[in-house]
Chains A and B, each alone.
Chain A
Amino acid sequence: MPQEMNLKELERKAWRSFHQDGLWDMLFGLILLTVYGGGTLGEPQRFAAWALLLSLGPLFTLAKKRITVPRMGFVEFGPARRSRRRKLTTVLTLAVFVTVALLLATIGGASWISDQHVLVSFGLGLGVFLSLGAMAYWMDLDRLYVIGFVFGAAITATELLDNPTPLLVAGVLVLFSGLVLLTRFLRAYPLPVEDHHNGGR
């Protein structure tokens, strides 16, 4: 029914307007760069890179709170969005378990990983792409498909070449696109004057 479609479109527009700030791009760009740093830097800097990787989640939440909300306003979306978030959390938790299992298998010296190096490399890239694809689908953010593709391709290329440079290139590209979006967002939505928060009453 066209009316239902239009209301869905209105909700989607409101949702997406809240995520046009480039912060997702910057988050994944920084993840790629910290993984690159963690794999290439010396001992003390490597520790800093992993610490930064762990703090990216809280930093992202803080940036949303300090950059996006004061400019776009606060909104609570409906139960449909919460249900999508629950599904996404389940899929991402599963992805984390698979990653940890693969990591443990690698550390444990599982021979099939080195025997099937090419297959495992493509599998890792595909896994990353599917995880970010799930995020893109359930979060209604098409840009995450592209980021997922770049991220997955960088992981596969890094594994196949045994060289982390693709992670650096992909990280810089994704981070840069995030910075461009953030700059546009800051220009389009400057901080409002004080009165706008209380309806001028």
Chain B
Amino acid sequence: MAGDKTSDTSGRPLLTINRLIHEPARLVIVSTLYVVERADFLFLMRQTNMTQGNLSSHMNKLEAAGYIEVTKGFKGKRPHTMLRLTDSGRAAFDAYRQQMQKMLSQTH
């Protein structure tokens, strides 16, 4: 589930980083959804420059973790997929940002 965290992380803050979000492609997806209310699949494809398969695969992982909510519907006769960051996804991203900032400030 969320985070892929290791159990023994004392003294190794990098290991506590939420790897599900830390992966660059997913980080782009989550941060894009963080700054908008909701967006459809095509909009995310345009913003992230990912291929359909790539985006779809990352979308599935984030949905399985409960970070994004995927709503399937129809626009006219065409199927249409809307994505939204869930409260838990928003909280996880906030935590990730704080942790990264703390770590990076410690390196200075």
Q: A residues near B, CB below 8 A?
A: 1, 3, 7-8, 10-11, 13-14, 17, 72-78, 189, 192, 194-201
Which among A7, A189, A201 is the interface contact of B46 at CB below 8 angstroms?
A189
Give Cα distance in the complex from A200 to B72, angstroms. 11
Q: Tell whether A199 pairs with B36 under 8 Å between CB atoms, given A74-B42, A189-B46.
A: no
CB pair B70–A75 under 8 Å, yes or no, is: no
Once A and B bind, how many residue pairs between them come within 8 Å at the CB atom?
87
Is B40 interfacial (CB-CB < 8 Å)? yes
Q: Which residues of B contact A17 (CB under 8 A)?
A: 46-47
Contact, CB under 8 Å: B31 / A10: yes
Is the CB–CB distance between A196 and B35 below 8 Å?
A: no
Smallest beta-carbon distance A12→chain B, Å: 9
Q: How far is the CA of A18 from the CA of B98 in the complex (A)?
A: 30
Query: Please, which residues of chain A bring their CB within 8 A of the CB of B41?
Result: 73, 196-199
Within 8 A of A (CB), among B59-77: 59, 70, 72, 75
- Among B2-10, B14-22, B50-58, the stretch that binds chain A is B50-58
Are B78 and A199 touching (Cβ within 8 A)? no
B11: CB under 8 A from chain A? Answer: no
Given contacts A10-B32, A14-B32, A75-B38, contact A197 B43 (CB under 8 A): no
**Interface residue from B36, B52, B78 paired with A11 (Cβ < 8 Å):** B36
